[in-house]
Each structure stands twice: as C-alpha cells, then as structure tokens.
C-alpha cells in the first residue's frame, strides 16, 4: 500500500510536469530564438533591421535589412488569401448547407486528405506543372513568381479555412435557419443574411488561422517564388519570403556569425507574427463557442 502510494505520487508528479510542458516549450522556443538572434542587433540597429531595404548577408560589409523579405511574405500571403478565402468559404457553404449524403462525406474526407499532402510535394508539383504554365501564360522569363507561390499556398490554406468555417457554420443553431426560411427568405438569403453573420467570428478565426499557416509555410514557397530579395512591384515578380530566407541560407552560415544570428532574428519576427495571429484567432474562436 505504502509502495503503491509512492509510485502513484511519482506518476502524478510526472503528469503534472507534462501538463505544463507546453508552456515550457513556448518559453524555451522564445528563449533560444532570443539567445541566438539578439546578437545581430549589436551590429544592426533594430530600426535598420526591420526597415532596411537591402538584404545582402554575404557582401562586404553585409546588409541585414528585412524589408524586402517582409514585403515578399506579405505579397505572397495577400495573394494566397485573396484566392483562398472566397473559394474556401464557398466550399464550406457548399459542404455544410448544400451537399448531402455521400457527396458531403466525400468532399470532407477529400479535403482532409488533401491537407495531408506534404508541402514539399505541393512545391514539387508547383515547380514541374504550375510554374511552366505561369511562364507561358504571362510570357515571363521565369515561372517562379509570387503568383506561383500564392496559388499553391491558397490550396494549402484551404483545408484549414474550410474545416474551421464549416464548424462555425454548423454551430449556428437550427432555429436561426428555420426562422429565416419561415419568414419567406430563400435559402441563399438565409445563408447571406443569417448564417454568415451568425458564424462571422468563427469565419474570421478560420481565415486568420489559414493566413497564419501561409505566412509560416516554408518549403513550397522556397521552391516556387524565385527567392529574389528585392522589394516587389507586382505578383509576377520573383520574391523572397522570411521563411524561405531562413531555410535557404541557414545551411551556409557559420555558427555565431552575424548572418547566423540575423536568421534567428527573422525567426523572432516570425514567432511574434504567428503568436499574435493565433492569439487573436483564439479570441474569435472562443467568442463563437461562448455563444
């Protein structure tokens, strides 16, 4: 009995320790990004880092301005969101309100499985299939552009947006729908005037989480956007994103060098962006649930 109690005490302590492991991990991630990344600000002031227009990490002297990278990420993400959001919401409406029976199940399972395709595979398909199409369609010297990345990322964001939007739609009480239809609205009017507004905060959360996924996406972006670190003027130009910069350059840096810590500093920026997006999205999600 004594021995059993001792064993249980140990197990319970382990469970409690694991319980707060998530907090420890978040703190650790942030701490290690800071530890490795802060050093760069001894060479480059924070303002120059964020607003500097040149990213020449291996020139002499090196320039660590991430503005072109921020613009690249914003452009690719914006383009992807523009494509993805309407298509996703349309698909979610279709799945939750119009499709019935096996079609509904097939669409849901299909989207779930599509979400499972690794980003490197989508990047590969983008390189071999989409990029040549883009090059021919717009008569460009290269098919590796912001647009190519945006289209691919739009499809990667879709499963997230569709499934969370669908949850939000199905959480709207039946009574709302019935009341609207009973008042003589068509189903389409019911959807636009009752359903979408009622599910609005869930849909906002869905979009934010989808966008969060796009900003953090690395492999497909690195393979598809051409990786030119210049401030872009159109979607048809090659761009370079924050994530791709880290992935492409980390292998060639010397540990502890300014370039190395500059890449970690980019990591801090990404961490901060995803942290705020998820925080806000979570607030919206809880608003849906509370109601």
Give the integer Cα–Cα distance in Å for 235 and 81. Answer: 13
Give the integer Cα–Cα distance in Å for 263 and 269. Answer: 10
Among 1, 47, 101, 175, binds another protein (CB under 8 A): 1
Q: How big is the site for another protein, counted in residues (CB under 8 A)?
A: 88
Eight-class DSSP state of 239: B
Sort 99 into a burial class: Cβ within 10 Å, 0-12 / 13-18 / 19+.
middle
**Paired tokens of 49:** 């880092």
Of the two residues 119 and 237, which places its CB atom closer to another protein in the complex?
119
Of the two residues 40 and 223, which places its CB atom closer to another protein in the complex?
223
Give the integer Cα–Cα distance in Å for 19 and 129. Answer: 46
Of residues 87-146, which lie at the interface with another protein (CB under 8 A)? 87-88, 90-91, 93-95, 98-99, 107, 109-114, 116-125, 127-129
Eight-class DSSP state of 254: P
Instruction: Tell whether residue 262 is a contact of another protein (CB under 8 A).
Output: no
Of the two residues 187 and 291, which places its CB atom closer to another protein in the complex?
187
Q: CA-based angle 244:72:147, to the nearest 5?
A: 95
Nearest Cα residue to 217 out of 128, 152, 126, 280 = 152
Of residues 187-206, which lie at the interface with another protein (CB under 8 A)? 187-189
Among 102, 175, 255, 290, binds another protein (CB under 8 A): 255
Among 72, 149, 238, 267, binds another protein (CB under 8 A): 267
Q: Closest approach of Cβ 136 to another protein, in Å?
A: 18
Instruction: Tell whether residue 35 is a contact of another protein (CB under 8 A).
Output: yes
């Amino acid at each position: 009995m004594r021995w059993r109690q001792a064993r249980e005490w140990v197990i319970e302590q382990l469970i409690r320790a694991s319980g707060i492991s998530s907090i420890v991990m978040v703190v650790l991630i942030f701490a290690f990004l800071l530890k490795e990344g802060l050093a760069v600000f001894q060479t480059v002031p924070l303002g120059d880092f964020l607003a500097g227009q040149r990213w020449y990490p291996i020139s002499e002297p090196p320039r660590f301005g991430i503005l072109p990278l921020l613009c690249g990420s914003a452009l690719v993400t914006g383009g992807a969101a523009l494509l993805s959001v309407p298509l996703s919401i349309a698909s979610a409406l279709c799945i939750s309100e119009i499709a019935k029976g096996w079609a509904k199940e097939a669409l849901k399972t299909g989207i779930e499985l599509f979400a499972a395709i690794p980003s490197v595979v989508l990047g590969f398909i983008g390189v071999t299939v989409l990029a040549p199409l883009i090059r021919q369609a717009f008569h460009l010297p290269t098919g590796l552009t912001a647009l190519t990345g945006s289209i691919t990322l739009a499809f990667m964001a879709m499963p997230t947006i569709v499934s969370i939007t669908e949850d939000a739609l199905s959480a709207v009480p039946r009574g709302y729908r019935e009341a609207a239809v009973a008042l003589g609205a068509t189903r389409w009017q019911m959807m636009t005037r009752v359903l979408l507004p009622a599910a609005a905060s869930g849909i906002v959360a869905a979009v934010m989480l989808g966008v969060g996924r796009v900003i953090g996406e690395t492999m497909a972006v690195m393979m598809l956007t051409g990786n030119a670190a210049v401030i872009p003027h159109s979607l048809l130009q090659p761009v370079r994103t924050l994530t791709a910069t880290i992935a492409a350059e980390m292998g060639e840096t010397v540990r502890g060098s300014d370039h190395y810590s500059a890449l970690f500093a980019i990591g801090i920026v990404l961490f901060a962006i995803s942290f705020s997006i998820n925080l806000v999205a979570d607030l919206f999600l809880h608003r849906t649930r509370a109601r």
